[in-house]
Amino acid sequence: MPLDKSVLAQAPTVMRDFLFYMETIKGRSPRTVDSYFIDLRTFFRFLKLHKGLIAADVSFDDISIDDVDIDFIRSVTLSDVYEFMYFITKERGNNATTRARKVSCLKSFFKYLTVNANLLEQNPIKDLEIPAIKKSMPKYLTLEESFELLNHVVDDGYYERDFCILTLFLNCGMRLSELVGIDLGDLSDNTVRITGKGNKERIVYLNRACLDAIENYKAVRSRNLTDIKDKDALFLSRLGTRISRRRVQQIVERTLQNTGLSNQGLSTHKLRHTAATLMYQYGGVDIRVLSEILGHEHVSTTEIYTHVSNKQMEEASAKSPLSGVKPPKRKTVPKVKSQKDDNDDNEE
């Protein structure tokens, strides 16, 4: 899916070239490139406001950036970026994760201008650090909750499809975009070819549960559909088009609610956490293999999924070679007479 033309129409030339570069050369997904556009637009709107180039009666969201050119960008300093970070923190309430994403976008943009396009001689933000993000334990379903989730899929005429979606999430650790993008032609024997971040393809092996769920769904895939518009897509909507990301989210949210788990902050991505956690805890999957399954570029990224359960920590403690040592019975130590005691005896 190419970039949205309406997005490109709003971008100045230097920014448009960067977006094309990120999509065609770096292989970023259209969704990621769209986020680059939004972050850069916010940055340039702030700069024009910060430098007093906007009338007082113009709202922030109405500030046009179509006149931004390389000369304007050359005026950017590290101090301007610090002011921008303060603005998005205090005025727009961006959390650490969102701020880190914006900094990453700016660093990619200025690196492109300096290294790839040779439009800048020096990178003014090369020393800009990405904000630290608090690392928290990921939320996931327990094994028992996972069984309960599969047992509470709503039967509204699309039971086989929805059950198959949840089964793939819980067994394969797919991202939402990866699942939605599966074509019938991607299935081969006991594998599926999926396209992950950066348009990188990988092969994921399907276990018996996944194969059975897919076969059951394919047998009724065209049921209730008078016209299939997207014949290649594995998962179809009620209209015969490829199922949307939002519809899959609604299916997961509804099933979580039906299971009584809707108040735990769970989502489609948390099912990815669940799959990785269950493979690690119950399947003894090596972290390097788990990294390949999840499509991570670096093993370090996978470590967030390999947290250990309280049960594992209890078992690890029990396996200590000293775990069987028992405290000895207390020995009675004979009292040693002191010189003072001898003197006391003599006095008697």
Which positions are annotated as active-site residues? 175, 197, 269, 272, 296, 305
In this structure, the strands spanning 201-205 and 187-188 are unpaired
| Contact assessment for residue 216 and residue 160, using Cβ atoms and an 8 Å cutoff | yes
Smallest CA-to-CA distance from 202 within 290, 89, 133, 333 is with 290
Residue 72, C-beta contacts closer than 8 angstroms, at least 6 positions apart:
47
Q: How far apart are CA 235 and CA 216, in angstroms?
A: 13
- Could you tell me how many residues make up the chain? 348
Q: How far apart are CA 204 and CA 194, in angstroms?
A: 7
Assign 3-class secondary structure to 139-199: CCCCHHHHHHHHCCCCCCCCHHHHHHHHHHHHHHCCCHHHHHCCEHHHEECCEEEEECHHH
**Phi and psi torsions of 205, nearest 5°:** -80, 140
Percent of residues in the chain assigned helix, strand, coil, to nearest 5: 55, 5, 40
Q: How far apart are CA 57 and CA 27, in angstroms?
A: 40
